[in-house]
Amino acid sequence: MFLIFLLGLFVVYAQAEDKCTTPNNENALCIPLESCPVLNSVKDDPKSYAFIVQSACGNKLDTTLVCCGTLSNFAEGENTFVDEDVCGFQHSDDYKHTENKPVLTESPWLALIAYKDKQGTTLPINTRYKCSGSLIGKKHILTSAECLTLKDVIPSHVRLGEYDTANKTDCFEESNVLECSDAVRDYAIKQIIVHPDYDEKHRKNNIGLIRLDKTVLYSDYIRPICLSSPDKTKAQVGDTLVSSSWQKRVESDTETKIITSRTLITNEVCRTYYKTDDVLFDGVMCGHPKESNNGLCYGNLGSPILFSHKWRWHQEGILSHRERCGFLFPEVYTRVEYYLDWIKEKVES
């Protein structure tokens, strides 16, 4: 029943039996869910949840319309490096919020990267977490190459399920309902993978992966993000991009999760600020922070840059660099789709 309710939220009007394309790129017709046996028969199966959501093609007279093809799930071999059945969904999208701050289940793919010095000693809490990343599967974190090649320090482990570094378990009260998260989980690092053509001086090909030593168990507080790909609806110039990252408290050495918005701009506009072609090429994209932040830097390097379509999130970029902080100066992001083949190769190797 929840799935039907969720699909009904998509107020996109379509005429019955319009032509459409399924998530598996089949040509099909847009018809009522109950008239599509292949999908209607699995509407209560959690394994088909993501596929049915992506099959939604409209709403007519309170009836959910779906693109009805021959399959009830993603075709085998497609995006095998991404958990398409669970990626991109966050429980916080299932209900309205009364608090103007992130809730515990928001951005469950966000990862904290901890560091140690060259002698192997884990850094103190106030300098331990220097970068962010995103969980893209059961064993891999996507981040920037810069985060994996910092001077004098090396990544020591990855933390998932975090909300506030001051606490092992976080609690959040909203509408007189108290929710407490599971304990955070720390994962040791098995392998660090830096793009072979990473150019530190110009920050080109600023992308990397961390392979964890154990399989990640998903929950409401830990789950992967989908990746931008040719078959997904992507942000257009002027659309809002969202960044999830961490903000250090002024009064303490701890950090808490924050969500900030950016406006996607063209690389041509971005180039008027950076005055160079060395930084901007097809493998990057740019965005303006939407909120004035008084010159403060909101967002760690390696933070995921996200876009939502039909209540499902995918990662379009990785925070690569910025020349300065503030409302008037854009940020540069590594464009995820540009490196999709490389990511897939490394994850599946």
The Cβ of residue 24 has, within 10 Å, a number of other Cβ atoms equal to: 18
Q: How far apart are the first and last CA of the chain?
A: 39
Same domain, 110 and 221: yes
Ramachandran angles phi, psi of 97, nearest 5°: -120, 145
| 191 and 276 inside one domain | no
Q: Looking at residues 106-134, what average pLDDT do you find?
A: 87
φ and ψ at residue 46, rounded to 5 degrees: -55, -30
- And the tokens for 331? 């940020």
CA distances from 201 to 19, 118, 279, 303 (A): 49, 22, 9, 20
Are residues 111 and 219 part of one domain? yes
Strand partners, 335: 317
pLDDT in tens, 177-233: 787 878 889 999 999 999 999 998 888 999 999 999 988 888 888 999 999 888 888
Contact 53, 3 (CB under 8 A): yes
Per-residue pLDDT for 146 more than 90?
Answer: yes
Domain match, 181 and 296 both: no
Q: Among 89-93, 133-137, 313-317, which is the least confidently predicted range?
A: 89-93
pLDDT of residue 6 exceeding 50, the answer is no
What CATH number did the domain enclosing 124 receive?
A: 2.40.10.10
Question: Does 245 or 315 have the greater pLDDT score?
Answer: 315
215 and 251 housed in the same domain: no
User: Which residues form the domain of 296?
Assistant: 227-337
Question: φ and ψ at 54, to 5 degrees?
Answer: -70, -15
Query: Of 175, 199, 225, which residue is a domain's last?
Result: 225
Q: How confident is the model at residue 148 (pLDDT cuts 50, 70, 90)?
A: very high
Structure token digits, residue 235:
């942000």
Is 14 part of a structural domain of the chain? yes
The three-class DSSP label of residue 272 is helix
Q: Tell me if 75 is assigned to some domain.
A: no
Alpha-carbon gap, residue 88 to 229, rounded angstroms: 13
How far is it, in rounded angstroms, from Cα 226 to Cα 210?
17
pLDDT score of 33: 92
pLDDT tens digits, one per residue of 29-81? 999 999 999 999 998 887 787 788 878 888 877 788 999 999 888 665 433 46
Residue 238 C-alpha from the chain's centroid: 19
Domain identity same for 104 and 195: yes
Q: State the pLDDT at residue 326.
A: 56
Give the contacts of 310 (CB within 8 A, at least 6 positions apart). Answer: 10, 53, 54, 56, 233
Residue 203 within a domain: yes
20 and 46 together in one domain = yes
Q: What angle do CA 197, 199, 204 make, to 5 degrees?
A: 85
The CA distance from 340 to 349, in Å, is 14
Inside any domain, residue 58: yes
More confident residue, 343 or 300: 343
Question: What is the rounded average pLDDT for all residues in the chain?
Answer: 81
Neighbours of 217 (CB within 10 A): 11
Q: Half-sphere exposure (CA, 13 Å, Cβ side) for 15? A: 2
pLDDT beyond 90 at 155? yes
Q: How far apart are CA 347 and CA 136, in angstroms?
A: 9
Q: Are residues 250 and 294 in the same domain?
A: yes
Give me the pLDDT at residue 323, please: 66
Check whether 12 has a pLDDT greater than 60.
Answer: no
Q: Do 221 and 241 share a domain, yes or no? A: no
User: Domain for residue 257, yes or no?
Assistant: yes
Same domain, yes or no: 269 and 172? no
- Please, which pLDDT band fits residue 277 given cuts at 50, 70 and 90? low
235 and 209 within one domain: no
Number of domains into which the chain is organized = 3
Task: For residue 264, count other CB atoms closer than 10 A to its CB.
Answer: 22
Tens-place pLDDT, residues 247-273: 765 555 567 788 888 899 999 998 888
Q: Could you tell me if 267 and 233 lie in one domain?
A: yes
**Of 208, 225, 242, which residue is a domain's last?**
225
Q: In which band, very low, low, confident or very high, does the pLDDT at 96 lie, cut at 50, 70 and 90?
A: low
One-letter amino acid identity for 215?
A: T
